[in-house]
């Protein structure tokens, strides 16, 4: 393998994953598996590491959506930013036989003033390598980050998904809340003028003050058809 860092850093404390009680999840595993015991000795569920640039992490994400030519430097910068914030829990499944990341999901913590300065979780970027699908690994990675959200004290966890995946997430405890599960989007990456300004937090002036932003503001859309629904997992206090 080329270029793996000498000493690798976890994005967050891996011991957190050993504290999760998979019996608390409504997910039905057959056979039973968990983050600590994923069913095969060569499977490892763990936080993202900086060395995962060389384990195909970005190639895996490209099975979900467009990733782009992310250099090692850019990857490591983003990794450091996420680690410093403490609010990103990118979690992966590694096939240790191949040194390859074959599953991933992210918990992002959103800090609130409401609900007595509560925190909520967002489930993002769920993907399993297509040659490993149908073996419970999707369930495993989603349940892992969902239990992690509960363990960390989130009052709820939400995600956006296509209609065809609603049943998958419902089987893991997520619900469509009647009258409150629409997902709306405004895209900033469709105009070349705006696209050039999209390197997060590099802009010296607020995007909202620019003429391009005004144009884009006219394009607020609700996702139609099978595109997106928001489903939530409420945790009992």
Ligand X SMILES: CC(C)(COP(=O)(O)OP(=O)(O)OC[C@H]1O[C@@H](n2cnc3c(N)ncnc32)[C@H](O)[C@@H]1OP(=O)(O)O)[C@@H](O)C(=O)NCCC(=O)NCCS
Closest CA to 215 of 173, 182, 186: 186
Q: How far apart are CA 50 and CA 11, in angstroms?
A: 8
- Asked if 165 interacts with ligand X (CB under 6 A), we say yes
Q: Are 90 and 82 in contact (CB under 8 A)?
A: yes
Residues 6+ apart with CB under 8 A from 191: 212, 215, 216
For the record, the structure tokens of 63 come out as 């099975």
Binding mask 177-216 for ligand X (x = CB under 6 A): ----------------------------------------
Q: Which is nearer to ligand X, 164 or 202 (CB)?
A: 164
Task: Find the residue with minimal CB distance to ligand X.
Answer: 138
Listed ranges 10-18, 72-80, 86-94, 159-167: which one lies at the site for ligand X (CB under 6 A): 159-167
For residue 173, state whether it binds ligand X (rule: CB under 6 A).
no
Pick from 11, 161, 231, 233: which binds ligand X (CB under 6 A)?
A: 161
- Residue holding tokens 């609700």? 222
Judged by beta carbon, residue 44 or residue 133, the one nearer ligand X is 133
Cα–Cα distance measured from residue 22 to residue 97, given in angstroms and rounded to the nearest whole number: 25
State the nearest-atom distance from the C-beta of 122 to ligand X, in Å.
Answer: 12
- The site map against ligand X for 127-156 (x = CB under 6 A) is xx----xxxxxxx-----------------
Site for ligand X in 93-132 (CB under 6 A): 126-128
How near is the Cβ of 24 to ligand X at its closest, in Å? 18
Q: Which of 109, 108, 97 is nearest to 55 (CA)?
A: 97
Assess contact for 164 and 21: CB atoms under 8 A.
no
Is the CB of 46 or the CB of 139 nearer to ligand X?
A: 139
* Interface pattern 54-93 for ligand X (x via CB under 6 A): ----------x-----------------------------
The H or E element containing residue 115 is: helix 114-117
Residues 6 or more apart whose Cβ sits within 8 Å of residue 230? 158, 159, 160, 176, 181, 182, 183
List 10, 151, 168, 188, residue binding ligand X (CB under 6 A): 168
The least distance separating ligand X from the CB of residue 218, rounded to whole angstroms, comes to: 28
């Amino acid at each position: 393998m080329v270029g793996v860092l000498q000493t690798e850093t976890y994005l967050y404390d891996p011991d957190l994953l050993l504290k999760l009680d998979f019996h608390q999840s409504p997910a039905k595993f057959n056979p039973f598996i968990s983050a600590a015991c994923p069913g095969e000795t060569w499977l490892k569920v763990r936080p993202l590491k900086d060395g995962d640039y060389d384990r195909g992490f970005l190639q895996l994400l490209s099975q979900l959506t467009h990733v782009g030519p992310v250099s090692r430097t850019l990857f490591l910068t983003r990794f450091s930013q996420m680690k410093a914030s403490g609010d990103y829990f990118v979690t992966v499944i590694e096939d240790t036989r191949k040194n390859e990341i074959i599953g991933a999901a992210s918990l992002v913590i959103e800090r609130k003033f409401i609900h007595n300065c509560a925190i909520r979780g967002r489930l993002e970027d769920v993907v399993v390598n297509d040659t490993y699908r149908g073996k419970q690994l999707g369930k495993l990675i989603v349940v892992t980050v969902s239990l992690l959200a509960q363990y960390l004290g989130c009052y709820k966890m939400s995600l956006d998904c296509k209609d065809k995946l609603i049943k998958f997430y419902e089987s893991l405890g997520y619900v469509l809340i009647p009258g409150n599960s629409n997902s709306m989007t405004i895209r900033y990456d469709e105009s070349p003028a705006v696209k050039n300004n999209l390197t997060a937090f590099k802009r010296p002036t607020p995007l909202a003050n620019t003429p391009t932003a005004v144009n884009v503001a006219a394009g607020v859309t609700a996702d139609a058809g099978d595109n997106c629904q928001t489903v939530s997992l409420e945790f009992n206090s």
